[in-house]
Amino acid sequence: MPGANDSMRMSAAGYAALRFNEGVVMRYYNDAPANGNCTWGIGTLAHLGPCTQEELTRTVLPEQVNAVLQSRVRDAERRVKAIVTERQLTQAQFDAAVSFAYNSSNVNTRQTLSPANDGNMRGVVSQMMSNVMITPRRPDGSALGPAQRSQGLVNRRMRESAPFRQPAQ
């Protein structure tokens, strides 16, 4: 049986929002001010834990960044379509759901988006807004301490949840 969102793709506006949410960095960097994870391009995780000094000197090419972005967006789209099968999302909701999936684990994505199947968009908003914690990491990638609330993620989740706050059309 086909899913309600099988024909959807992330829109140009969705890509622009994702680029804004993730940021575009043409080198390796740590994704949090202190003890973040080594990341590059448009939020692409290199590994858990901070970058080494050698990694911090690496640059990346636009072709690399764009190829990985397209692949990861297609994967996030597939995940959203596999989870939200019963309720048609608006284009803005689909774009926001893909942005969330791009930035989240499979488990968090499933927990967050599943309420949409029942039309429970408030549940989607609530779950999105609970995904605002980051875990500081040691150089080996192990947890350095308890998870901490990230204002950057709070701001991102506010933007991503906005289409789910709109009344049904």
- Mean residue pLDDT of the chain comes to 93
For the residues 4-15, what does the mean pLDDT come to? 97
Contact partners, residue 164, CB within 8 Å, separation at least 6: 93, 96, 116, 121, 122, 124, 125, 128
Residue 158 has pLDDT above 90, yes or no: yes
Residue 163: per-residue pLDDT: 98
Closest by CA position to 98, among listed 7, 4, 8, 1: 8
Give the CB-side neighbour count of residue 154, counting CA atoms within 13 A.
4
Q: Domains of the chain (ranges plus CATH)?
A: 22-165 (1.10.530.40)
What pLDDT, in 10s, does the model give residues 37-73? 999 999 999 999 999 999 999 999 999 999 999 999 9
How confident is the model at residue 35, as a pLDDT? 73
Percent of the chain residues topping a pLDDT of 70: 98
Bigger pLDDT: 166 vs 73: 73
| Structure confidence at residue 169 (pLDDT) | 54
Q: Is the pLDDT of residue 17 over 90?
A: yes
